[in-house]
Amino acid sequence: MTRPKDVQDNATPSGGAMATLVLLRLAALTGASRYREAAERALATTTPYMVRYPTAFAQWLQATDFALAPVAEIAIVGDPGEAATRELLEVASGRYAPNRVVALRAAEGESGVPLLADRTRLKDRPTAYVCRDFACRLPVTDPDALAEQLREVAAVA
C-alpha cells in the first residue's frame, strides 16, 4: 500500500511545496546555500505547472514569491517571559508578512541559528535586529522603533 504524493495543492497544501518553503526559510535563518539550492531545484520542476495552473499550485507560488522577494530577517535577543521581549515579538510577527523570518534567543549564550550569532542585548534590555542577507540595521529596544524599521524595509522591497 502506498500513499500518493500530489505535487499540486488539494484540501491541504502540497507537502513538497511546504518543504520547499521551509528550505527557503532555513536558508534565510542560517545563510546556508544548500537549503536554497535544494528549494530552487524543487521550484524548477514545478514552474511550468504553476504558470499553466496557478490555482492548483498556490503553495508553490508562495514559495516562489519567498524565493524571489527580499526577505526581512529579524533577530530578537531577550527572555520570552519578559513583557518587553513579548512586545518586540508581537511587532515582529504580529501582522501578515510572508517574506519575513523571526528568530529568538532567550539568553546571551550560543545559538544554533546563525542569524542570532553575535547579537546581544542593549543596555540589558530585549533587543531586535532587522537584517537583510545578515546585514543589520542599528539594533532597537523599543517596539515602535522596530515597527518603523520594518515599515522602511517593506517600503524598500
What cell does 89 get? 515579538
* Contact between residue 104 and residue 115 where contact means Cβ atoms under 8 Å apart: no
* pTM score, whole prediction: 0.89
Tell me: pLDDT of 121 over 80.
yes
Domain spans in the chain, listed from the N-terminal domain onward: 15-68, 72-156
Ordered DSSP codes for 39-106: HHHHHHHHHHHHHH-GGG-HHHHHHHHHHHS--EEEEEES-TTSHHHHHHHHHHHSS--TTEEEEEES
Residue-wise pLDDT for 2-36, tens only, equals 766 778 888 889 999 999 999 999 999 999 999 99
Q: Which CATH architecture has domain 72-156?
A: 3-Layer(aba) Sandwich (3.40)
Residue-wise pLDDT for 68-109, tens only, equals 999 999 999 999 999 999 999 999 998 888 999 999 998 766
Predicted local distance difference test score (pLDDT) of residue 154: 84
